[in-house]
Amino acid sequence: MGLSKLNGLYREVILDHASHPHNKGKLPTATNTMTLHNPTCGDTINLQVNVADHRIKDIAFTGEGCTISQASASMMTAAVKGKTTTAALAMAKTFSDMAIGQQHSRSDLDQLGDAQVLTSIMEFPARIKCATLAWWALQRALLKDSDEEDDNE
Amino acid sequence: MGLSKLNGLYREVILDHASHPHNKGKLPTATNTMTLHNPTCGDTINLQVNVADHRIKDIAFTGEGCTISQASASMMTAAVKGKTTTAALAMAKTFSDMAIGQQHSRSDLDQLGDAQVLTSIMEFPARIKCATLAWWALQRALLKDSDEEDDNE
Amino acid sequence: MAFNINDVLSDFPILSQRVNDERLAYLDNAATAQRPRQVLAALQDFYIHDNANVHRGVHTLAERATEDYEGARVKVQHFINARSSAEVIFTKGCTDALNLVAASYGEANIQAGDEIVISIMEHHSNLIPWQQLARRKHATLKYIGLTAQGQLDMAAARRQITDRTKIVAVTHASNVLGTVNPLKELAVLAHQHKAVIVGDGAQAVGHMPVDVQDLDVDFYAFSGHKMMGPMGIGVLYGKAALLRAMPPYQYGGEMIGDVHRDDSTWADIPFKFEAGTQNVAGAVGLGAAVDYLQGLGMDNIQARERELVTAVLPRLTALPYVTVYGPQDPRQHTGVLAFNLAHLHPHDVATALDMEGVAIRAGHHCAQPLMEKLGVTATARASFAFYNTREDTDQLIRAIKETKEFFNRGTI
Amino acid sequence: MAFNINDVLSDFPILSQRVNDERLAYLDNAATAQRPRQVLAALQDFYIHDNANVHRGVHTLAERATEDYEGARVKVQHFINARSSAEVIFTKGCTDALNLVAASYGEANIQAGDEIVISIMEHHSNLIPWQQLARRKHATLKYIGLTAQGQLDMAAARRQITDRTKIVAVTHASNVLGTVNPLKELAVLAHQHKAVIVGDGAQAVGHMPVDVQDLDVDFYAFSGHKMMGPMGIGVLYGKAALLRAMPPYQYGGEMIGDVHRDDSTWADIPFKFEAGTQNVAGAVGLGAAVDYLQGLGMDNIQARERELVTAVLPRLTALPYVTVYGPQDPRQHTGVLAFNLAHLHPHDVATALDMEGVAIRAGHHCAQPLMEKLGVTATARASFAFYNTREDTDQLIRAIKETKEFFNRGTI
Ligand SMILES: Cc1ncc(COP(=O)(O)O)c(C=O)c1O
Ligand SMILES: Cc1ncc(COP(=O)(O)O)c(C=O)c1O
């Protein structure tokens, strides 16, 4: 089949996000942080979130990884910035569900913004974890006990 | 084939030795002792030997096990009693070699006395260890350092 | 019997061979079962189509192999009704699984003065790991004994399990006596005293329905090869919270979070306990075995084995020179029957039976403390599986009678 | 080349499949090799004719299975030229074997202040067991580094290995760099300092002749699945005197002398280290793999792999956007090639290559400290076996070029 099928995965918007990531960098201060690794490949996401009044005031990430994981982190941060934590968690759930093949309503999907394009990852099962890493990091950052150590650190 | 093949294994002389074992019991004193188990089945041979002037003055065994192991111990003790330790070790080697299918001369075999009948064990590979246990115990008893602990105890 | 025995027999070509010019009656199922052609086909299919290493691969074969492997894990999960597939750890076998619990959970949780309670009927694989753990830790190993009927003495269990008890490890079904132990009751007892309970399912899984949530065991170990799966694969079930808190057992590829020069972090369960390349084909074969067993129905399998025991046990006990160990009531029995012939060593019996085509086992069955308790050094053991037939039971009884005659006469 | 590649290819039906509508070029052999039909046939034959549990059985099938199993041990013994078959211990795999040495020999022999020396190119399976042992024992873990050419720095080895060194553990061939380490020289060094040396043969056995007596290693571990044998079986070779002095690693059936309520004694080697039912079918399959490899000839296999690398390595290094890690000289190379494409993550490369039918691996290859040393988080890796062809090398180079183009253009 050659590389044509790749077009479904590496859409322009994805390559754009990967080469010009949004919100990449470090926040001076953060209320919630989480570092996650994809142990199967070494992709790393270090996520910093500033939450105030149950709302994501600011969010940024650093880390290294493949096009998919970097694009996903960029899209995720862009999609959740300014949202309430409840809304952000709902989006994370939508994304994870999509990635394991569960259906969601059109309106749930629309919430995801650019990030919904990455649900095309389902055709590349070996790469699903690359796409979900950023969303997992978000979930863990928002849900974790303030005492909990960062994972895999 | 039914049980007729068993006649080759359970010859009359073997059954005789098993039901009326020679040299079964304990020596009041012994210069060399050895307890060996066949861990695959639990057969036990406890061998006591009195060696003086490089000669087996007396030998006896206690233990439990199947017809083959008991008959073999009886035959072995009968065959080596009064022999020099060198001769006894040579006989043990002949027997072990036979049991793993190596050839020996007619005169070597004749040395074994009744015990040579047990070389028929080769047709029953699962039972070879039962037959060799007593001979191994003899080898170990005669060769072991006086300091060495009994094995498997 | 809800399945057709002829259909079943055609799935097990190995059973239709002759040994020593006699019809084979394979009655050594407690040692290892036979595998149906569906399991062998699953192995071949995997190796011929999908073979690759799992999890880390991006390419198509690796992805297929990963799906096969994780699919097998889910099959096992449902088969034993675990809450989550992360609670199903693939091991080399039951022994490996029990050693894992003793080394990881035991090493981390047992201290001097603690007590570990096992039963006198344990297989060495569920005995020595605890015995050696107790020795290393200066803990006490306590044994639950038997009733006169050859069953676990639950009154003794209530006495032995105390607030000092940290681990209770008991077999679900005995590989000698054929008794089934009340694991669920033992779990309640253990939990009342804040101990964990480890079930040894080697002789249970594949012979009766097993539901780890209903039993409420904390750990449960079993082997693939005794439940019609391949050799070299087994399972440790553990409750997620316990597994998460445990240190790894082996270190290597696939079980890590991050590796630095001087220290490392670990992956989440189940991977934390699956160091190195796993027996992927073995897991796939085990999944096929689960499918096969579920196709027949575990209730049907259990009924079938009971039917065979009901047919043979009374005939065995009726022979005046035969002693049967364990319960005499077929309803209290798995397909495992241990017995001896008067004045005959079981090894001689097994050799004679083999000449008649009957494959049984003789020895201590890796249960020396039980042998001591029974006052024997060894027994013969015939163990039935669902694919055995009435003909097999007839052949066993006939061969025993002829063996007795042979040795009575001294020679034929 | 002394064997006919078409004959060889007909033994590996899995290789003739298409993936993603392209011809499959399976270049992930360092992760796991494919098995020839002779090995699959050996597995089936065992399960269909001889399947039984080994050693303790008196009946005919048990005896045949025991012969099959012990016969496989002797085949492995001769293949690696061990002095005695008792020095060949069957394990679940290489990781299991290395953990066995670290837990049994290491636990018994390492004390606070001792040093364990490994290399920076170790696979996690030959790294974390020593790292964790060192932590438990307050011993020091020291690393031998690399030369600029990506080879083991023997000058550093001479400095690092001292009289405080108790264990040296080094891979025979790197699973990333494709270098072959001078294990024999290292053994001399280790022995001069009264240390033992452990060789990790996972990437060596099956790719080059291996003679453990000539290498004079004390322990040597490898996996069946990387040398065309089944999954779930591996080998630990150890010198008899060392093995005899070591405590058991796992406890259970088959490895005992005598079991009493409060203590036990152990069987002689190799059985002391083979607790529980072993992967008998796996051992039989491994024996068949040994036969197959010896049929082709290990020298021929090595020559063939070198020929493939000689064809592909210069073409790879000639691509201006490709970095190859490890030696650039094909004569210093096994069939393993690690590389990266500029500005492209190896995962993206591997996905693209997969679309072109080329199966390679991307990631840290269970060698994170080496990745750190190389200054990367991951690499792509193509690894060749004797059944690979010139066509496979062409397909790899073509696919890399197309991948580069695809990502240059952003989209096709
Ligand atoms: C150099 C090296 N050592 C050890 C291992 C571990 O082998 P296994 O995963 O088969 O246990 C591997 C393979 O993954 C390897 O490449
Ligand atoms: C009750 C029981 N537990 C544990 C085991 C050990 O199983 P495996 O030898 O497959 O590891 C066995 C079988 O030998 C058994 O019967």
User: pTM value?
Assistant: 0.95
Among candidates C297, C274, C298, C277, which has minimal Cα distance to C88?
C274
pLDDT for C133:
98
Q: Exposed, middle or buried by CB within 10 Å (0-12, 13-18, 19+), for D299?
A: exposed
- The angle subtended at Cα D293 by Cα D289 and Cα D299, nearest 5°, is 160
A61 sits in which H/E element: strand A55-64
- Mean pLDDT for back-to-back runs of 10 residues, chain C (412 residues): 86 95 97 97 96 86 94 98 98 98 98 98 98 98 95 97 98 98 98 98 98 98 98 98 98 90 92 97 98 97 97 97 94 96 94 96 94 94 98 98 88 44
Residue A96: pLDDT band with limits 50, 70, 90: confident
C-alpha to C-alpha distance for C233 and C225, rounded to whole angstroms: 7
- In sequence order, what E strands does C60-190 have? 88-91, 115-119, 140-144, 165-171
D4 with D341: CB under 8 angstroms?
no
Q: How do residues B59-113 score in pLDDT, each as one tens digit?
A: 999 998 899 999 999 999 999 999 999 999 999 999 888 877 788 888 888 888 8
Q: How far is C141 from chain D (nearest CA, A)?
A: 7
pLDDT for D412:
41
- Mean pLDDT for back-to-back runs of 10 residues, chain D (412 residues): 86 95 97 97 96 87 94 98 98 98 98 98 98 98 95 98 98 98 98 98 98 98 98 98 98 90 92 97 98 97 97 97 94 96 94 96 94 94 98 98 88 44
Q: Exposed, middle or buried by CB within 10 Å (0-12, 13-18, 19+), for D213?
A: exposed
Cβ-based neighbour number of residue A64 at 10 Å: 15
Mutant choice from B13, B41, B127 vs C, greatest count of C C-beta within 10 A: B41
Q: What is the mean pLDDT of residues A27-55?
A: 89
C245 with C272: CB under 8 angstroms?
no
Among candidates D6, D30, D24, which has minimal Cα distance to D395?
D24
Is the C-beta atom of D125 inside 6 A of ligand 1?
yes
Across the interface, whether the CB atoms of A126 and D363 are under 8 A apart is answered no
C-alpha to C-alpha distance for A127 and D346, rounded to whole angstroms: 12
> What is the number of structural domains in chain B?
1
Q: Do chains B and A touch (3 or more CB pairs under 8 A)?
A: no
Token couple for D319? 């691509």
C-alpha to C-alpha distance for B50 and B34, rounded to whole angstroms: 12
**What separation in angstroms does the CA of A147 have from each of A31, A60, A142, A144?**
12, 21, 13, 8
pLDDT for D233:
98
What is the residue-averaged pLDDT of chain A? Answer: 86
Among candidates C201, C202, C222, C129, which has minimal Cα distance to C167?
C129
pLDDT for D410:
59
C-alpha to C-alpha distance for B19 and B70, rounded to whole angstroms: 9
Token couple for C121? 């009927």
C-alpha to C-alpha distance for C293 and A134, rounded to whole angstroms: 41
Give D211's contacts (C-beta < 8 A, 6+ positions apart). D80, D81
Instruction: State the amino acid at position C126 in one-letter form.
Output: N
Across the interface, whether the CB atoms of D258 and C368 are under 8 A apart is answered yes
Which chain B residues contact residue D56 at CB under 8 A? Answer: 40-41
Secondary structure (3-state) at B99 = helix
DSSP string, D176-190: TT--B--HHHHHHHH
Q: What is the mean pLDDT of residues A10-39?
A: 90
Cβ-based neighbour number of residue D4 at 10 Å: 10
Q: How far is D98 from chain A (nearest CA, A)?
A: 22
Among candidates C15, C31, C49, which has minimal Cα distance to C281?
C49
**What separation in angstroms does the CA of A81 have from each of A23, A52, A59, A74?**
9, 12, 6, 11
Q: Exposed, middle or buried by CB within 10 Å (0-12, 13-18, 19+), for C386?
A: buried
Measured between CA atoms, the residue of chain D closest to residue B44 is: D258
The domain that holds B68 is classified in CATH as 3.90.1010.10
Across the interface, whether the CB atoms of A126 and C57 are under 8 A apart is answered yes
- The angle subtended at Cα C179 by Cα C178 and Cα C183, nearest 5°, is 135
Strand partners, D205: D208
D126 C-alpha to ligand 1 centroid (Å): 8
Q: What share of chain D is helix, strand, coil (3-state, %, to 5)?
A: 45, 20, 35
Give B10's contacts (C-beta < 8 A, 6+ positions apart). B67, C348, C406, C407, C410, C411
Given 3.40.640.10, 3.10.20.30, 3.40.50.1370, 3.30.720.200, which CATH number is that of D40-295? 3.40.640.10
C73 with C88: CB under 8 angstroms?
yes
Q: Which CATH superfamily is domain D5-27+297-409 in?
A: Aspartate Aminotransferase, domain 1 (3.90.1150.10)
Secondary structure (3-state) at D193 = coil
Q: Which residues line ligand 2 (CB under 6 A)?
A: C 30, 93-95, 123, 125-126, 171, 175, 200, 202-203, 223, 366; D 252-253, 276-277
**What separation in angstroms does the CA of A145 have from each of A45, A149, A150, B70, C243?**
19, 9, 10, 70, 21
Phi and psi, residue A84, nearest 5°: -70, 155
Residue B151: pLDDT band with limits 50, 70, 90: very low
Say yes or no to pLDDT of A76 above 90.
Answer: yes
Q: How far is A84 from chain D (nearest CA, A)?
A: 33
Which chain C residues contact residue D230 at CB under 8 A? Answer: 47, 232, 281
Among candidates B102, B106, B84, B82, which has minimal Cα distance to B93?
B102
Give C213's contacts (C-beta < 8 A, 6+ positions apart). C81, C82, C83
D366 is catalytic: yes
C257 sits in which H/E element: strand C256-259
Domain that holds residue B130: 3-150
DSSP state of B28: S
C-alpha to C-alpha distance for C337 and C348, rounded to whole angstroms: 17
Mutant choice from A66, A128, A129 vs D, greatest count of D C-beta within 10 A: A66
Secondary structure (3-state) at D224 = coil
* Nearest bound ligand to the CA of residue C202: 2
Mutate to test the pocket of ligand 1, among C277, C278, C279, C280 (most ligand atoms within 8 A of CB): C277
Among candidates C372, C384, C383, C336, which has minimal Cα distance to C124?
C372
Is the C-beta atom of D119 inside 6 A of ligand 1?
no
Q: What share of chain A is helix, strand, coil (3-state, %, to 5)?
A: 55, 20, 30
Domain boundaries, chain C: 5-27+297-409, 40-295
Secondary structure (3-state) at C282 = helix
Say yes or no to pLDDT of A83 above 90.
Answer: yes
Among candidates C161, C156, C159, C107, which has minimal Cα distance to C134?
C107
Torsion region of D220: left, alpha or beta (phi above 0 gives left; psi -120 to 50 gives alpha): beta
Strand partners, D54: none
D255 C-alpha to ligand 1 centroid (Å): 26
Mutant choice from B40, B41, B127 vs D, greatest count of D C-beta within 10 A: B40
Mutate to test the pocket of ligand 2, among C28, C29, C94, C286 (most ligand atoms within 8 A of CB): C94
Query: β-strand C165-171 against C196-200: which pairing, if any?
Result: parallel
C-alpha to C-alpha distance for A96 and A104, rounded to whole angstroms: 11
B88 with B115: CB under 8 angstroms?
no
pLDDT for A1:
63
C-alpha to C-alpha distance for B132 and B141, rounded to whole angstroms: 14
Strand partners, C258: C265
R_g over Cα of chain C: 22
D302 with D384: CB under 8 angstroms?
no
Q: How far is A53 from chain C (nearest CA, A)?
A: 33
C-alpha to C-alpha distance for D209 and D184, rounded to whole angstroms: 13
Among candidates D361, D339, D340, D341, which has minimal Cα distance to D350?
D361
Token couple for D256? 């005992």
Instruction: State the amino acid at position C281 in one-letter form.
Output: A
C-alpha to C-alpha distance for C285 and D310, rounded to whole angstroms: 39
Phi and psi, residue D90, nearest 5°: -80, 135
Among candidates D324, D287, D271, D309, which has minimal Cα distance to D393?
D309
Token couple for D53? 């549990």
Count of CA atoms in the C-beta half-sphere (13 A) of C235? 36
* Catalytic residue, candidates C324, C366, C370, C378: C366
